[in-house]
Amino acid sequence: MKKILLFAILTLTWFCGYAQAPRIVNIVNFIRLLEPRDPKITEDVLYQTVVKQIGLMKKYHLGGTFLLQYDALMDPRYQRLLKQLPRNGFEIGAWWEIPQPLVENSGMKWRGRYPWDWRANVGFSTGYTQQERARLIDTYMRDFKRVFGYYPKSVASWFIDAYSLNYMYTRYHVVASANCKDQYGTDGYTLWGGYWNQAYYPSKKNAYMPAQHEADQIPVPVFRMLGSDPVRQYDDALQKARQGVITLEPVYPHAGGDSTWINWFFKQFVNGPCMAFAYTQAGQENSFTWAAMAKGLSLQFPLIEKLRDEGKIRVETLAASGEWFRSHFKLTPATSVTATEDLPGSNKKSIWFDSRFYRANLFWDDSTLRFRDIHLFNEDFPSSYETTPVTSNECRFFTLPLVDGYLWSTNNFLAGLKFKAIINGKDTLLKFGQPKVSDSEPGKLTVDWPLANVKGNLHIIFTSQEIRMSLTASTNIKWFLDLETAAGVGLPFQSIGPKSVSAKFEGMEYQLTILQGHAAKGTTEIFRLVPDDNKLYLKM
């Protein structure tokens, strides 16, 4: 009887914990009618790719979301194919890139080089006035409803401006959206410094910026697409015009197309502390073709099915995730993405923390530790694209940098807020062992990182607005954090210390406040954060 009772208690404890912090997987495939960049990729090749995707999903009993670009929406073949999918497992939604038929059916002149042109000022809503955006949305929604009998609940794109997203919400009641992973320069699109992975409520002034207050947010969660490698994606291809791609996308043989990487990624996804929930998006746009994605999807889908059947993940549509998010969170929750075990042959560790106020990344490399990234969020930081259409072929979205280990680094020098101490009279990088990470207390991520130089422990608590650090050691050591950057990089800092670090970026003033400890302007470092009584408390 005691064994039965103990088993019941353990089962209930596991179930409640899982219910509170689900691991959510969306399989999202978006569909374009044509691919003008490669004559070998015909409309039939693209169509057959979707047919194969559906077949593989059915083989492994996986539902998901198909998002239609307008030209594909108007094609009878896609209409017939997608109408046959069972509504209880599959969702049909909108992919918000702007092709020629949508523009012309909205009474406007097409400015593109091809019937679908991926440039930011032509193929995305950012290239149009607010009045034009509303007309484009009305045309899409009208024709979607004519085809399927209802309005789409999910609308996604590499980026959607806040005006368009809010218009889709208020007039057509969309419940979920998605945008591109964080990246710098890839395909001409930069999204840098945002809520790392997971999902957030965006500001009404800037769809890339998380809002801090309910009144100033669009109540449509934006999920981050593509499943970024939490260790390597961030600073891949330093000093190059654009990053590489290290994601769950099945077309990349060193990532989502590799069995070792896939198993490592999902192990971290399932086991890593995530706080409110964990999220990743699987699937692929049909433009890559079935030949390129078949191997990767064939490796991923049986694993996703297995993890789902074991109760370790939830596989659901994007709309279902959006409705769950809205029912559980009035404001963007704090979440984490944790990788404390690396791929074979590598030994790095990465801990991402997100809240509606900031994001931070702790990065361990060769036993040394640094904050690789800290960006602050402010709902009043506007996107210039909200009122003025972009005229270039690129788009750039940013938040407010405090530490930027990508843009402030070079191949020869890695920037970061580095943990140091005075040992034997010299400034020395502290060394650390294997961390313990816990999200057992709601709203907090706790990291205990044992020291390797001396016997001791670094204790870090992340909350929605604060990072609290304390250090205990067998011997009294003077420890601190130095912000070091490569020479010649542009920095936002205006003034430093003792109780704040003030900065200005693209016209927005912001600051880091030191609640316990103090800041000092450095000589070789940019600034130094020094604890008081072995405690350093930072408010974002």
- Dump strand ranges (E) for 430-465: 436-438, 445-450, 456-462
Q: Enter the pTM of the model.
A: 0.93
Look up tokens 């198993």; give the residue: 263
Look up residue 102 and give its amino acid.
L
Please tell me whether residue 252 adopts helix, strand or coil conformation: coil
Q: Assess whether pLDDT exceeds 50 at residue 4.
A: no
pLDDT score of 6: 41
Q: When comparing pLDDT for 146 and 20, which is higher? A: 146
- 42-55 pLDDT, tens digit per residue, is 999 999 999 999 99
Q: Are the CB atoms for 334 and 355 separated by under 8 Å?
A: yes
Q: Summarize the confidence of residues 139-158 as an average pLDDT.
A: 97
pLDDT score of 1: 45
Q: Summarize the confidence of residues 519-537 as an average pLDDT.
A: 92
In angstroms, the CA 361 to CA 356 distance is: 15
pLDDT score of 455: 86
DSSP string, 494-540: EEE-SSEEEEEETTEEEEEEEEESEEEE-SSSSEEEE-BTTEEEEE-
Q: Assess whether pLDDT exceeds 90 at residue 135.
A: yes
Please tell me whether residue 371 adopts helix, strand or coil conformation: strand
Look up residue 241 and give its amino acid.
A
Least confident range from 14-18, 32-36, 72-76, 202-206: namely 14-18
* Cα 100-152-355 angle, rounded to 5 deg: 100
Q: Summarize the confidence of residues 422-444 as an average pLDDT.
A: 91
Q: When comparing pLDDT for 18 and 364, which is higher? A: 364
Q: Give the strand pairing for 154-156 and 90-95.
A: parallel
- Please report, for the chain, the start and end positions of each structural domain, with discontinuous segments joined by +: 18-337, 408-540
Please tell us whether the domain made up of 18-337 is placed in CATH 3.20.20.510: yes
pLDDT score of 476: 82
pLDDT score of 15: 39
